[in-house]
Structure 1
């Protein structure tokens, strides 16, 4: 009996050594599939699994070369492949003990689109703009990769999704902001665009950040501990990152767009630190200093005073981080009691304007909102100067005076300011304040601005002035009565 076992074991060993591919076919990660878009004019990574020691031959239809690689002892293999200028469709063939052929592959621009519900919202959420878009949305040069809501305790190597062409069926349930962003890029650049939608309503930014980076930072850890639990989304650091970001970090991208922050409004004091940590961690994992463009949260009636204003302030401060951009949307709100503004088209267009200007160097229209530069006090008047307003400022059409400017004296009591626009600056005053020392603009949870740059930005109008304050006084965040 023992001799038979020994012989069987020996034969099995010889068979596996001579025929390593007999027990494991080539397998690819989900993000490498038919209909995908690969980043143009770059080096992309192709990878997967097979039998250890198996030789894998890779052929692309845009090249006459046949490349090969050998799977490691842990059954993994990868290869770097150069991509041409935008075009397609192409095929990619992987040949080992079995053959896998990927078809309808395009070469173009690939963007990750992430965040919470305002990034996630789609035609399934009753958005009139995207509903009207559906019938005529078919476009073979826009491709979707939609990662389902998933969590994991450790970083994963794969996810459950597949690339699909844009059409009325595949657009249903796909991020409206991401779609409008991608549509603008596709039209302006005339190249295929791949959109990776990895978003989850309600999620704080901590769940999209590697766990150890939050846990090893005392301030971030303390802030994360204040996040409440719910049955609708994860709250533990790293959970969404592990399952919905880590599996795609080997897939070359042009950049990322982000719409999130509402769930971190109660911990705004650490949000800048949290976001720069998130951005740097993603760039490290992708091994690429890609652009990161994000949306400043919209006006909303939170239950605590000014927490939305403080979160927007933290987002504006994040602009000091390299290769970032922020779309201001204080004007794109129809109801401050709804945390989900319906206008996603202009949000996507404003993000696309940042990408077209900063990533693709097309400055056909303005993309930066006016921002506070400095102020000068002369007796009872304050003059506030702005950057990003080369043609000056203007009040929204149909309205007679600029609103949401407040000034205060040493008593720290803010009063509405009378506003005079003079080119790229405004002159503020209030008869009750003889010696003004501080200015606030649109600095509240629900402030909807009505002052814009004169240049025609995305959608035809100018861009709203970015909310700001000049003081560093304590801000009331008590309960709204």
Structure 2
């Protein structure tokens, strides 16, 4: 009898130690894995459970065992772009992931201008409905969720890109991915993890905000709302942390409007967030972002100061910025409807900087330096090799001031990649500002057609009072 009870206990113990293999949602059928890379596969199983993983692209089987925390992880080597393939997971149970492609994977994140989709009124996507299934694009939309602590799984599953699944997916992300798919001729995986209205602190690990006095003070200006989280780290913990094991080529980002009440800390906050993402992915991936569009905010200059901070972030290695002031038809709408050209400009950045397929003038001209000579100011720009041009007879949104700091409309002469600025009312100039306002839209462009980024040559204090 004792021997029988002992056998029963052993059987129960064995059952308690075994469990089915489980995978995080980011690993699933229809996914795209980053090509020619070491890629992690991971999940859960019974403690010490043996797991075999077989990849169909090379027929190799890799074995591992779950640890005492019932987790496991292994690495596979991916080939050049192609597919479809399968991955077989074997333990106490079997899981087969099917219709897997190998290609380029990009994260698309930010607030509502990245989130906005066909369902939000971006109807231009309907023009592509008939050709979507011909494109090798796969979509993963991470469902909105929050957490006080970093999570190991998120909600959302990989799907093919068709006229149904695209309707709720980021329009900017889609147009970005479509351009990459067509120009690189490889499958593209897009992960959309965004939430309208969210400030950048929400997407930054909480300790990096709470342990920085400036960030912590700025975060107090993020007032609670019924529609989106404002607590530092909450979206990062639930919507980014569960994905950091998944190998990506890079990230695109459209956010900043919700940090307008504390623009002075935004540049350093974004630097901190980008560094944290790269560290936790263990990869120094490219990060391309959109400068916020002209909009009539409730207080003067707050939008201009966020744009200025975003321009400063170009000093971060492997970043790039898209300027979209010319794509705005209504400065009373914080969501410009032209998402196609936003996505295309981001894609041109990625094609040039990440994939070395350079299109002439793929960057907007950015202020570099200025020099005062007599009654004129000469302004030089980076990324204006082809020269500058003015659209229309009269210059727009460019002003000049003397030591009195009173800005007056300026005249502009273009000389190659320089502008020479003056005003009869300013005899001894000290500073020039271009499109340095919330809703102003200028008319200076590179000769390749991209708008000059807003700038100011001074660092004078700006009054943002009502």
The TM-score with structure 2 as length reference comes to 0.97
Are residue 82 (structure 1) and residue 77 (structure 2) matched?
yes
Unaligned runs of 5+ in 2: none
Q: What is the aligned counterpart of 1:123 among 97, 118, 125? A: 118
Partner of 2:263: 268
Distance (whole Å) between structure 2 residues aligned to residue 183 and residue 251 of structure 1: 21
Equivalent residue of 2:378, what SS? strand
Q: Which residue of 2 aligns with 1:411?
A: 404
Aligned ranges for residues 198-277 of structure 1 at < 5 Å?
198-277=193-272
SS in structure 2 at match of 1:475:
coil
Aligned to 1:380: 375
Identify the residue that residue 463 of structure 2 maps to in structure 1. 476
Quote the Cα distance in structure 2 between the aligned partners of 1:242 and 1:221.
18
Whole-Å separation in 2 of the counterparts to 1:429 and 1:471:
16
CA distance in structure 1 between the aligned counterparts of 2:140 and 2:8, rounded to whole angstroms: 41
Match of 2:183 in 1: 188
Aligned position for 1:340: 335
- Supply the distance in 1 between the matched residues of 2:54 and 2:16 (Cα, whole angstroms): 22
Q: Which residue of 2 aligns with 1:112?
A: 107
Measure the CA separation in 2 of the matches of 1:163 and 1:432: 61
Instruction: State the partner residue of 1:42.
Output: 37
- Determine if contact 1:308/1:444 at 8 Å carries over to the other structure: yes
- In structure 1, the residue matched to 2:59 is 64
Q: 2:11 aligns with which of 3, 12, 15?
A: 15
Alignment RMSD (CA, Å):
1.5
Q: Which of the numbers 422, 427, 436 marks the counterpart of 1:443?
A: 436
8 Å contact from structure 1 (residues 20, 52) kept in 2: no
Deviation digits for residues 416-474 of structure 1, max 9, x if unmatched?
Answer: 1011111111111111110001010110001112111112xxxxxx1110111011101
Q: 1:331 aligns with which of 326, 344, 347?
A: 326
User: Contact 2:33–2:39 (CA<8 Å) still a contact in 1?
Assistant: yes
Conserved 8 A contact 1:113-1:258? yes
- Aligned partners of 1:411, 1:231: CA distance in 2, in Å? 45
**Could you tell me how far apart the structure 2 residues matched to 1:139 and 1:36 are?**
16
3-state DSSP of counterpart to 1:138: helix
Structure 1 residues without counterparts, runs of 5 or longer? 456-461
Tell me the SS of whatever aligns to 2:333: coil
Measure how far apart 1:376 and its partner are: 1.8
Shift of 1:13: 4.4
Q: Aligned-pair distance for 1:140?
A: 4.9
Does the 8 Å contact 2:135/2:181 carry over to 1? no
Contact 1:205 1:275 (8 Å CA) reproduced: yes
Deviations 1:92-128 (A, max 9, x none): 0001111110000000000010000000000111123
Secondary structure of 1:150's counterpart equals coil
Cα separation, partners in 2 of 1:12 and 1:361, compared to 1, 3 Å: farther
Note if 1:433 corresponds to 2:432.
no
Please say if 1:313 is aligned against 2:308: yes
**Partner in structure 2 of residue 420 of structure 1:** 413
Determine the C-alpha separation between the residues in 2 that align with 1:263 and 1:390: 34
Partners of 1:140 and 1:165 within 8 A in 2: no
Contact 1:93 1:99 in 2 (8 A): yes
Alpha carbons 1:353, 1:365 under 8 Å: kept = no
CA contact (8 A) 2:135 2:178 kept: no
Displacement after TM superposition at 1:202 (Å): 0.3
Contact 1:201 1:233 in 2 (8 A): yes
List per-residue Cα deviations over 1:264-301 (Å, max 9, x = no partner). Answer: 01110000111011001111110000011000000000
- Aligned: 1:350 with 2:337: no
Provide, for residues 228-279 of structure 1, a one-character-per-residue CA deviation record: whole Å limited to 9, x for no partner: 1100000000000010001100000000000000000111000011101100
Q: CA deviation at 1:12?
A: 5.1
Change (3 A) 1:281 1:12: farther
Q: Distance in 2 between matches of 1:467 and 1:318?
A: 14
Query: Do the aligned partners of 2:361 and 2:384 also contact (CA within 8 Å) in 1?
Result: no
C-alpha separation between the residues in 2 aligned to 1:11 and 1:284? 49
Aligned partner of 1:138 in structure 2 is: 133
Contact 1:180 1:348 in 2 (8 A): yes
1:16 Cα offset (Å): 5.1
Alignment partners' CA distance in 2, 1:262 and 1:185: 27
Partner secondary structure for residue 412 of structure 2: strand
Matched position secondary structure for 2:214: helix
CA spacing shift, 1:81–1:343, aligned 2, 3 Å: same
| Distance across 2 between alignment mates of 1:77 and 1:417 | 65
